[in-house]
């Protein structure tokens, strides 16, 4: 009996580097600073609220777009922080994590032959989603200098063609820890203004911006907000990445198309968690205080690396720290990350994994969303290099 041959929709996709490095870390008993998830618990109050929602009977399907209480809380938060009032009924949808939101946004607006500008290094779900939609990804590489990673907007403008349908931006940026500033949004607006080009803004680390700087949400910029899908993640904000609950905000006309796809690839999202999160959002302190919480961890980690042979790159946002290792090794990034995991017992992620062509720049990424004791153990090991 022969097995039918299946032609892959994603022939170039294999096991992600995150899975590979996490498995390697487990094999060698390494401190896992690779994959981006906390090793500490969320607020017990959030668990209590979810438990209460379950016991109150919120266990059946919610509305396709999400529980009204949660959508209302999201709209209130965005208005307070960024000054844009989204209609909770027509312009906000709760999603099964940010990755589903990103993929659904791409599938709802990108048609075969359309071009999508992706700024690299880029989160690894963007390119496969574009390919699944039949689109063509056009990569523009960030520039790296003393100020860290910056977007070359002249190169983005040059990449625009009559077939450009979408530009994807990400701030705070994974993997580099860079942030977009007001002048960056103005530059993007100058590129897309007066065109039919849409914007997909990945803002899952929106509450992790440091040193007194503010998060420049696309929601804050009138020209961009009118043509943008803005995505965020409760998993990142509330230390519950395994819950896979996020959301997207967009103008009603865009959201109508988003929901057409959403209702058939997910339909809706975990009911009691939506109600629990809605109740938890009544107090803004957990997300307003998040930057201070993670800045202390960033500073602890950066201070601990100061005396090593790693070169620290700026980390203005997210919970990631990128470092150059050229003073330590000439190995390619993936090989250096494997060596670091097996021999030094600290796992990192090669930044080359965030480029379509595997571009090498001698940089690896650490995640500092860990307990201080975990970070100190990792730092002790890294200091031996």
* pLDDT at residue 2 in the model: 81
- Contact, 127 vs 118, CB < 8 A? yes
d(CA 129, CA 15): 16
pLDDT tens digits, one per residue of 247-274:
999 999 999 999 999 999 999 999 999 9
Confidence of residue 10 (pLDDT cuts 50, 70, 90): very high
Identify the domain boundary among 244, 260, 286.
Answer: 286
d(CA 44, CA 219): 31
| Residue 239 sits in the same domain as residue 343 | no
| Tally of CB atoms within 10 A around 344 | 18
| Residue 50 sits in the same domain as residue 38 | no
Confidence of residue 16 (pLDDT cuts 50, 70, 90): confident
- Contact, 186 vs 153, CB < 8 A? no
Segments forming the whole domain that contains residue 329: 17-42+289-382
| Residue 192 sits in the same domain as residue 326 | no
- Contact, 179 vs 217, CB < 8 A? no
Q: Where are the alpha helices (DSSP H) in 206-247?
A: 222-225, 234-237
Confidence of residue 43 (pLDDT cuts 50, 70, 90): very high
Identify the domain boundary among 223, 252, 286.
Answer: 286
Identify the domain boundary among 286, 311, 341.
Answer: 286
pLDDT tens digits, one per residue of 92-102:
999 999 999 99
* pLDDT at residue 3 in the model: 86
Mean pLDDT of 311-331: 97
| Residue 33 sits in the same domain as residue 108 | no
pLDDT tens digits, one per residue of 328-361:
999 999 999 999 999 999 999 999 999 999 999 9
Q: Where are the alpha helices (DSSP H) in 116-161?
A: 126-132, 153-159
- Going by C-alpha positions, the residue among 357, 335, 361, 331 that lies closest to residue 348 is 335
| Residue 72 sits in the same domain as residue 165 | yes
């Amino acid at each position: 009996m022969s097995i039918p041959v299946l032609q892959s929709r994603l022939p170039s996709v294999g096991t992600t580097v995150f899975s590979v490095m996490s498995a390697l870390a487990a094999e060698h008993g390494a401190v896992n600073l690779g994959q981006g998830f906390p090793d500490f618990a969320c607020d017990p109050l959030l668990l209590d609220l979810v438990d209460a929602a379950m016991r109150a009977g919120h266990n059946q399907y919610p509305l396709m777009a999400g529980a009204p209480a949660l959508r209302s809380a999201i709209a209130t938060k965005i208005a307070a922080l960024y000054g844009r009032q989204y209609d909770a009924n027509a312009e906000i949808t709760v999603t099964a994590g940010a990755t589903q939101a990103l993929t659904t946004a791409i599938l709802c607006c990108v048609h075969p032959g359309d071009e999508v500008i992706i700024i690299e290094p880029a989160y690894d779900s963007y390119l496969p989603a574009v390919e699944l939609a039949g689109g063509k990804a056009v990569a523009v590489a960030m520039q790296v200098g003393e100020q860290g990673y910056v977007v070359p907007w002249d190169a983005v403008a040059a990449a625009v063609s009559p077939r450009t349908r979408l530009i994807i931006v990400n701030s705070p940026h994974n993997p580099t820890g860079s942030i977009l500033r007001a002048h960056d949004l103005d530059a993007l607006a100058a590129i897309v203004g007066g065109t039919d080009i849409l914007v997909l803004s990945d803002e899952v680390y929106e509450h992790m911006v440091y040193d007194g700087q503010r998060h420049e949400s696309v929601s804050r910029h009138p020209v961009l907000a009118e043509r943008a899908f803005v995505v965020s993640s409760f998993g990142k904000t509330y230390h519950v990445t395994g819950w896979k609950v996020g959301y997207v905000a967009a103008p009603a006309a865009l959201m109508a198309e988003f929901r057409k796809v959403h209702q058939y690839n997910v339909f809706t999202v975990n009911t009691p968690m939506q109600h629990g999160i809605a109740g938890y959002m009544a107090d803004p302190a957990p997300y307003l205080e998040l930057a201070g919480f993670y800045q202390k961890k960033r500073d602890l980690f950066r201070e601990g690396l100061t005396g090593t042979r790693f070169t620290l790159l700026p980390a203005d946002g997210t919970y990631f720290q990128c470092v150059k290792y050229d003073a330590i090794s000439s190995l390619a990034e993936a090989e250096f990350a494997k060596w670091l995991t097996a021999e030094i017992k600290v796992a990192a992620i090669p930044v080359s994994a965030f480029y379509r062509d595997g571009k090498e720049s001698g940089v690896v990424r650490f995640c500092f969303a860990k307990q201080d004791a975990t970070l100190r153990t990792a730092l002790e090991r890294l200091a031996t290099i």
